[in-house]
Every structure is written in structure tokens, then in C-alpha cells.
Structure 1
């Protein structure tokens, strides 16, 4: 009995934590500390995504209308500030660049970012976007600690500035960006928060519902176990 109850509560804690296992990486991953309930952060992240990421990356599993509802935005606000390739609020967040053109220009098709936060983990994304450094040996002139020889250039260099690697393997500032280090980290955290939302828009509803389901199962267990003992007492 004690073993069953202990197993139940351990499972409950794991399910309610909502923590993802970080993907293996050559770099030590920094914790993103995102908050999916922070709508202001999600709104800022959406703005960063459409301004800096959607030139090459789509999020084709997400509709503008769903995003407007979940992020507390009016459809007019989304149309004016977040929609650049379509005028239809019900469309998905696709891009105008064709896959074959991207393959010809970049050598690889930029991935759709609809589920990147689930496949890579939010901590990996947060680390990746903050650990670009100058590297003359690469075609793009930059490299990344979390993704060695990455093909994507540092698209946020104007905000962060450029970094170089010192003799000890630490990243140090080479040029100053438009944002301070703390401001840039907050910008990246908002972007990662938005990508986490896009990867699973119903996560908050799932977690909230899951608590009630687990509570129901626990109450049912308290009733079912004595019934089981009473039913089988003559057999055992």
C-alpha cells in the first residue's frame, strides 16, 4: 500500500513539473526560466520572431488567429504588427521563400520552428541564441557553442554585438550591440518563451486539466482499494 501511494505521488510531481529533458549538447546549457503564463513576454517574443526569424523560418502549425486569442491580442493588432506575408487572420505562419530557393541559396532548407522547443528544449534554444562567436574558419564567419559549425548566421548580432573566444574557451565581447547583456538575455528569453508556446499551445490547459484528472484518480483509488480488499477477502 505504501509503495503504491509513494509511486503515485512521485508520478504526480513529475507530471506537474512540466520539465523537458535537455538535448545532448557540447555546451553547458543555461536555464531559460521561461513562463508561459506571462503574456507580455509572449507578445514581445512574437514580435521578435516575426521581425528576425520569419524571413527564413516558418511556424506553419500556428495560426495567427489562435495566437491572437492566446496572447491577449486583438486581430487588428496582429494584422498591423505581426502579419507581413498574408492579410488573412486565419492563415498559418508560413513564409514566402520557397524550399528549393532556400536550398539553392543556403545549401540547406531552414527548418520550420513549430516544434523546435520540444525537439531541442528551451534551455538549448536559450543557450544557442546567446553563444554565437566570431570564427574565420566558417563560411558565415561565425560559430556557435551549442551547435558547432552551424549554417545559420548570427541574425541578432545588431542587438547582442559580436563575441570572440579567448584562450580558455570563454566568450568575451568583441563589439557592443544595441542592447546590454541583460537586455539581450531578456529578449532571447521572450523569444524562447514564444517558441515554447508555439510548440504546444495547449500546454497550460493540459497541465491545469491534468491536476483535476490526477485528483479524480486519487479519490477513485481511495474508494476502489477498500472495495477490492472487501471483494477478495474471502478468496485470500
Structure 2
């Protein structure tokens, strides 16, 4: 059990970057326009509290901060709060840390800044967007699941009811480094059982969830960018005035 949980935690900590850097799966591009779509961010918040907040907390995020996404206190209380009483509380995990340690040997990791933690390799959003869409059935694993972005992942597919079940198809090809050997190359996915959502709808839902995780890592990012634009405009205008004032001041001085 401890080995299973260790792999589960490692998956959520996203330690599979070496696989990508060594020629493994290439991260799919996360649709960045979701970051400015309030409806997408609101749907991502709903998916997060329903599928992630059962085991993983967001201790740096307060429920009332989601008012920045256009939600009212009443909407937050009615639709997003299952483990807290006041909107000013942090997004505590339903599973208490002591229970997690007692049952699994370690508490599941906090997801407050999970997207930002992968900023050094492409973007964390790209990795998460790929990771949550490339689960497939594998009877050789303890959970019955595997992941193309994270081979031998121990964390089960929590969104499988939405996506359905798929299997990965591999083909044997000659090893480019040793032509006497063969390696397995990924060809594509085959649907085993359908989910509640179509493939396009599931991809859209994952994009919304990743957008929320990205936003949660820095809720003030959009405001900071807007403020930065105005600061640059002010500096440009100020520089123009300062240049002309300097020219007028020194024009009669030789």
C-alpha cells in the first residue's frame, strides 16, 4: 500500500519531466484563451471541488477568492463548498492529513501551485493538460490504469467516468540506437467504453480544470498584467515629456 501511495503522490507532484526530456511524449498545447474566459474558470472550479478536493487540498486558496471569477458568496456556498462553513476559509481537503497518513502512509499533496511547479519545462499547464487526457487501461498495474505522459503511474484515473475507458495501441519498431532490438512506439488510443462526455467535451472540461489550476497558482496574474501595461504606457509618455523638456532646457546653453 505504501508503495502504491508513494507512486500516487509522485504522480501529483509531477516528477515525470525526465521522460519528456528524453524523447518521450510531447506535451499537448494547453488552450491559453481559457485563462481569460470566466465561464471556463468557473467550470474548472466546479470540477476541482468535485474531483480533486476529495483528497487534495489547496491551502493557499480561500473560497471567497473565487469571487474574482464572477461568483457570488451564495453561489460559492451552494455549489463549491463541501468541507468548509465560511467562504473566508481556505480550500481544505475533505481527507484530513492525519487520516491520510494513517490510511496511506502519507498525506496527498497540496495542489495550490501545482501548475506553477512545472514552469521550468514548457508550462505546467501543458503537462497537466496532456497528463489528464492520456490515461488508459492497463491490467498489468495495481490500479488497472496507466498514463502515456507518466508511464507506470500509480494514481488512478479520477475522471474516467467523464472520459470513458480507452486503451493505448503500441507497435514494435526497430530501436534507432540498436537495430537488433525492438521498442514499443505509441500509435494511438482506442475507445473501450464511452464516458459521459464526448472526446471534444472531455478535452474542453480538462482545459477548464487546468485553467483553474493555473489561475489558482496566481489569482492576481491578470490584474498584474493589466497594471503592468498601464505602467509601461505611463513610462513611455513620461519619457517623451522628459526628453522634450530636456531638449527645451538645454537648447540655449552651449
Normalised to the residue count of structure 2, the TM-score between the two structures is 0.74
Structure 1, unaligned runs of 5 or more: 1-22
Map residues 1-236 of structure 1 onto 2, 5 A cutoff: 25=20, 26-34=24-32, 35-67=34-66, 69-120=67-118, 121-168=124-171, 169=186, 170-222=188-240, 227=246
Q: Residue 28 of structure 1: SS of its match in structure 2?
A: coil
Q: Residue 62 of structure 1: SS of its match in structure 2?
A: strand
Shift, 1:118, TM fit: 1.1
Q: Partners in 1 of 2:148 and 2:104 — Cα distance?
A: 21
Shift, 1:220, TM fit: 4.3
Closer, same or farther in 2 for the Cα pair 1:103/1:171, shift >3 Å? farther
Closer, same or farther in 2 for the Cα pair 1:155/1:167, shift >3 Å? same
Q: Partners in 1 of 2:169 and 2:105 — Cα distance?
A: 30
Q: Partners in 2 of 1:146 and 1:221 — Cα distance?
A: 49
Shift, 1:38, TM fit: 1.1
Shift, 1:92, TM fit: 0.5
Q: Is the 8 A contact 2:163 2:199 kept in 1?
A: yes
Q: Partners in 1 of 2:155 and 2:104 — Cα distance?
A: 9
> For structure 1, which segment, 178-187 or 211-220, has the greater mean C-alpha deviation from structure 2 after superposition?
211-220
Tell me the matched-pair count. 208
1:7-66: CA deviation from partner (whole Å, max 9, x where unpaired): xxxxxxxxxxxxxxxx66332111121322211111111111111111011111111111
Q: Partners in 1 of 2:207 and 2:78 — Cα distance?
A: 24
More strand by share: 2
Q: Is the 8 A contact 2:53 2:94 kept in 1?
A: no
1:184-206: CA deviation from partner (whole Å, max 9, x where unpaired): 01111111111111111001100
Query: Which one scores higher on RCO, CA 8 angstroms, separation ≥ 6?
Result: 1
